[in-house]
Amino acid sequence: MGVDLRPTRQRPRPAATTRPAGATERARWRSRIDRLDVKASPYLYIAPFYLVFAVFGLFPLGYTLWVSLHDWELIGKGPFIGLANYAQLLGDPYFWNSILNTIGIFVVATVPQLVLALMLANALNRWLRLPTFFRMGVLLPMVTSVAAVAIVFGQLYARDFGMINWLLGLVGAENVDWRGSKWASWIAISTMVDWRWTGYNTLIYLAAMQAIPRDLYEAAAIDGASRRRQLWQITVPMIRPTIIFTVIISTIGGLQLFTEPVLFERSGHMAGGTLRQFQTVTMFMFENAFRDHDYGYGAAIAWMIFCLILIASLVNFLIIRRLGGTK
């Protein structure tokens, strides 16, 4: 087997004369590929995002508008009815009820949540032993599975044997039917949302607080400002852009609140209680589209939520612009 199978490096003379031509051809080919690589690669690399977004994000969103102009009880079957779905929607008391619930829960949840996050961030901004331990502890609720939270709180808020009512009983209060009325259910759902998200907002605020120059506080302390005054007169104004950011994020999330109230209800009916006391607008959309298979009506609701979110974001954005707080 002593045969050398490798291609001979030194070719006979005639071949050698043609070699430079082949090499230049190959080099030209190579450089053409290189140029193509340099030119096309960026587009190729960013294409998957645009493709996925166009097909599964933008197109469905736009098509929602089209669907909302139809009376579709079956997918793709039904007459064009113009704005009739919207007209019906604006006269539908259940729709306005769900808007009221959504905004109610949003306010009851968000205001205490952000104030609490501010206080906690202020505490975490001190010199602490075990800072990582405290930060992880504050963030812990965010990493629980979302349906699990709703189920656990649902049990804690049970009317007859729930721990919350037991604790209230210790201080002499009557049992509260947490699913029974608007306010009670709003409060219960808000605590679930707050339990889960306060820690996240705390860390956002903490990051912003750490960027505030420390000598501001030292100067204020020399002037005799108390810690509380330092918080409201130095910290809050300095992190205002961040506060507005968390308000925007909470608004967008709050207007789409779904999982917590659905699992708080437990039956999966999407009605938000017997009298719809905690049916959010997203639940209302889901109920119409996926339980009653009234896709046209559901799409009209979805489009209204979309517009609500856009308006809310725009208002927030204008406030930021006016305050001139962002970079």
Partner 1 sequence: MSAITGVRPTAARAPSERPRRRSGGGAATRLWRASPLTYITLVLTIALSAFPIYWMFVVATRTNAVVGDVPPPLLPGGNLGENVGRLLAARDANFAKGLLNSAIAASAVALSTVFFASLAGFAFAKLRFRGRNALLLVVLATMMVPVQMGIIPLYMIMVRLGWAGELQAVIVPFLVTGFGVFMMRQYASQAVPDELIEAARVDGCSTFRIYWNVVLPALRPAAAVLGLFTFMQTWNEFMWPLAVLNPDNPTVQYSLSQLASAYFNDYTLMFAGTLLSTIPLLIVFFVFGRQIIGGIMEGALKA
Site for partner 1 in 221-240 (CB under 8 A): 221-222, 239
Q: Show contacts with partner 1 in window 9-68 (CB under 8 A).
A: 37-39, 41-43, 45-46, 48-50, 52-53, 55-64, 67
**C-alpha 58: how far from its chain's center?**
17
For the CB of residue 111, give the shortest distance to partner 1 in the complex, in Å: 18
For the CB of residue 12, give the shortest distance to partner 1 in the complex, in Å: 30
Contact 240, 322 (CB under 8 A): no
Closest to partner 1 by CB, 46 or 90: 46
For the CB of residue 103, give the shortest distance to partner 1 in the complex, in Å: 16
φ and ψ at residue 3, rounded to 5 degrees: -80, 135
Residue from the set 127, 223, 224, 324 that interacts with partner 1 by CB under 8 A = 127
Contact call for residue 263 and partner 1 (CB under 8 A): yes
φ and ψ at residue 152, rounded to 5 degrees: -65, -45
Contact call for residue 75 and partner 1 (CB under 8 A): yes
List the structure tokens of 294: 């009234």
Contact call for residue 218 and partner 1 (CB under 8 A): yes
Contact call for residue 181 and partner 1 (CB under 8 A): no
List the structure tokens of 279: 């049916």
For the CB of residue 86, give the shortest distance to partner 1 in the complex, in Å: 15
Contact 124, 135 (CB under 8 A): yes
Contact 158, 200 (CB under 8 A): no
Count Cβ atoms below 10 Å from residue 205 Cβ, excluding itself: 25
For the CB of residue 1, give the shortest distance to partner 1 in the complex, in Å: 36
The 3-state DSSP class for residue 200 equals helix
List the structure tokens of 207: 């990051």
Closest to partner 1 by CB, 4 or 127: 127
Question: Which DSSP letter does residue 140 get?
Answer: G
Q: Show contacts with partner 1 in window 292-321 (CB under 8 A).
A: 295, 298-299, 302-303, 305-306, 309, 313, 320
For the CB of residue 225, give the shortest distance to partner 1 in the complex, in Å: 11
Contact call for residue 160 and partner 1 (CB under 8 A): yes
Residue from the set 89, 105, 188, 208 that interacts with partner 1 by CB under 8 A = 208
List the structure tokens of 30: 């190579």
Q: How many Å apart are CA 193 and CA 261, to the nearest integer?
A: 10
Contact 153, 190 (CB under 8 A): no
Contact call for residue 134 and partner 1 (CB under 8 A): yes
